[in-house]
């Protein structure tokens, strides 16, 4: 059994320009509403397209139609793997040491607030 987790679109723009990047992403998002801009740096754009029933012909057609307008030098489209989903999830998680540090800071702030509100305690 194969489960499609969507598509990963990686594009390289000839010119690094925020307006071109956001314009290109807007075209993709208008065509495929379940798209997310994951990264954009130095002319590289990483977009996740969460459309399981999307045909590759439709996706390639959308990219090709705006290739010249947004100075797309080259691009790749691949099916998103379970590993990519896991890595994206893991990136959003806090480091355990950072989590403990934040909890100590919050506990300290809470204790200071209690002493301020209830000075007798």
Instruction: For residue 58, give the CATH number of its domain.
Output: 3.30.70.2190
Whole-model pTM: value is 0.65
CA 24/CA 27 separation, integer angstroms: 5
Q: What is the pLDDT of residues 38-68, one digit of tens each?
A: 899 888 999 999 887 888 899 999 999 999 9
Q: Which residues of the chain have pLDDT under 70?
A: 1-4, 80-95, 98-99, 102-103, 105-121
Q: What is the pLDDT of residue 6?
A: 84
50 found inside a domain = yes
SS3 content of the chain, % helix, strand, coil (to 5): 45, 25, 30
Phi, psi of 57 (to 5 degrees): -60, -40
Instruction: Give yes or no for a contact between 45 and 106, defined as CB atoms under 8 angstroms apart.
Output: no
Strand order in the sheet with 7-13: 35-41, 44-49, 7-13, 72-79
CA 64/CA 62 separation, integer angstroms: 6
101 found inside a domain = no
Phi, psi of 76 (to 5 degrees): -135, 150
109 found inside a domain = no
Residue 110, both tokens: 């809470």
Q: What is the pLDDT of residue 17?
A: 86
59 found inside a domain = yes
113 found inside a domain = no
Instruction: Give yes or no for a contact between 7 and 77, defined as CB atoms under 8 angstroms apart.
Output: yes
34 found inside a domain = yes
Give me Rg for the CA atoms of the chain: 22
Total domains present in the chain: 1
73 found inside a domain = yes
Domain extent, residue 17, equals 7-80
């Amino acid at each position: 059994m194969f489960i499609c987790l969507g598509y990963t679109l990686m594009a390289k723009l000839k010119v690094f320009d925020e307006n071109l990047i956001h314009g290109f992403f807007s075209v993709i998002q208008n065509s495929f509403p379940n798209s997310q801009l994951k990264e954009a740096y130095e002319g590289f754009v990483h977009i996740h397209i969460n459309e399981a029933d999307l045909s590759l012909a439709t996706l390639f057609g959308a990219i090709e139609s705006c290739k010249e307008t947004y100075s797309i030098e080259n691009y790749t489209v691949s099916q998103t793997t379970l590993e990519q989903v896991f890595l994206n999830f893991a990136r959003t998680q806090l480091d355990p040491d950072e989590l403990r540090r934040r909890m100590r800071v919050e506990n300290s702030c809470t204790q200071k607030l209690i002493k301020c509100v209830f000075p007798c305690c």
